[in-house]
Every structure is written in C-alpha cells, then in structure tokens.
Amino acid sequence: WTKAWIKRQSNYIKGLKSKSLSAKRLASHIVEDIEGYFKAFKKCKDYWGIQDKDIYNFDETGFQIGVSSGEMVLVPKDILAVYTADPENKELITSVETINYGGRKVPPIIIFAGAYHLRRYFKNNLDGDILFARSSSGYSNDKLGLKYLEHFNRYTQSKSIGQYRMLIFDGHGSHLTQEFLDFCWQHHIRPFQLPAHTTHLLQPLDVGVFQSLKHNFKKEVRKQVFMGAKEISRTDFFAFFQRFHDKTFKNPRIHKSAFRKTGLIPLDPQQVLLKLKEYQ
C-alpha cells in the first residue's frame, strides 16, 4: 500500500536519497549564529578598511594518492559489471590551499609523512614556488601552521591594496596558537575564524573549490589506471599534481564564485540562510 499511496501523492511529495551530516554540523545550523557571523565579518572588514581583493581563505585538504572512484562506462547490454584495477595506495598527502577573492596566487604547501625528501619526487613540472613539508602524521601541526603564515605573507604582502589583509580559517588548533595569532597582528593580517562546524556552509574553499579539486584529482588517477598503471607512488602523485591543481585554481571564475556562494562578497547572508532549509 505504501507504493500506491506515494503514487497518489506524487503531485505533492517525492523521494530523495538522504545524505549523512554529522550531528555537530546539524547542531550548528542556528540562524542567529549564522547572522551573527556575517555581522562580525562586516564589522571587522569595515573597521580595518579591508578591501575585497585583500580577503583570503585557507584550509587543508587530503588526498589518498592511489584512490579513485567509479565512473560511467558504456558496455554491451549483457555485461553486468565493469571492474578497473585499484592501485591500492592509501597514503595520505595534505595540501594547504589558499583562495583569494581577487584571484591572487598563493602556492600550496604540500605535507607528507616521512623523515626526508627524495630528489626524484621533484623531477617533474611542479611549480617551483610550492613549499614542501614533512610531519610524522602527514597532517599540519602548530609548527607548520606558522610556516604557512610566513609563506602566505611572502606572497601577499606586496600585493595588498589596503593596509590590512583578512585571512579566514577554521578552528583547527594549529590556527589558534599564540605564535600564529601574534604573527598575524604583527604583519597586518586580520585573522577571522569561522564558527565551529560550519565550514560546509561558510568556508569558500569547502563550498566552492575542494569538490572540484578532488574531482580533478580522481580523474587523473583514473587516467593513470587506464594507461596501465599498477601502482601510483608518491613520485607519480607529484608528477600529475600540477595538472589537476591548475585545472581547478586557474579557472578564472572559481575564486569569486566561492566567496559569492558563501555570502561574503558581495555580502549576502541569504546565500547561506536559504541553504539551511536543505538540512531541515
């Protein structure tokens, strides 16, 4: 009877596949808190006279270097399944990325686990301005957080239109050390922290960039597999990193679009508040 009832109500309801979202993120969907965030953003921007093109967002994202995803292929009707080889390298490499409303380039920092770098990693077409770093976990830490700021300042200070730059980031511990915050204030960088558990709504990189970056990465992995790769190593990853990275970040529309979708530039909280209805 259920199917019959749904069919009779087809003018009013439809079926949708549910998507998972952490309880903490759902709990962060409080209209007053979101509105307060936008008011604080405007207050900071106006008080320090920060220009739109001096606003940046940075965050880390990870790649399992040999993991791709399935894709649609055309096969004869009697074929029930298609399998492709899985390189099975689950090593995680972290890339610290920056986006700017004006489209200014800040080269990424690539972090991987290990005690040393091998020369063969860099015999490729990688941008010479990319900064490489190591950590025991392959993730960022307090020391690398400060290293990022020095890197960021090096590439943005001379390009600043106004006296101050704004740097938007999440609440990761490495972004909140006293050394990190002191460096910001000493170098005319105004730190602006996102509310907890709201990056899926408010962070330009999460909303407008990382999905495209991961998509282009997985396409590159599949390409390597179809070309016969049995294994994708760290060296292989660095060899094609620049291709999928450029395909994302050299898109002239992606920078402004990411800030627009998060309601920051132009300032429009409704861009986010309307999205809250999707989670109700």
pLDDT at 75: 43
pLDDT at 50: 98
> In the chain, what are the domains?
30-279 (3.30.420.10)
Return the number of other C-beta atoms located less than 10 Å from residue 142's C-beta.
16
Backbone angles phi, psi at 128, to 5 degrees: -65, -10
- Determine which of 91-100, 137-146, 183-192, 255-264 has the lowest per-residue pLDDT on average: 137-146
Q: What mean pLDDT is reported for the chain?
A: 83
The average pLDDT across 195-217 equals: 93
pLDDT at 80: 44
Q: What region does 164 belong to: left with phi over 0, alpha with psi -120 to 50, or beta?
A: beta
pLDDT at 82: 43
Residue pLDDT, tens place only, 27-77: 556 888 999 999 999 999 999 999 999 999 999 999 987 655 555 444 454
pLDDT at 89: 53
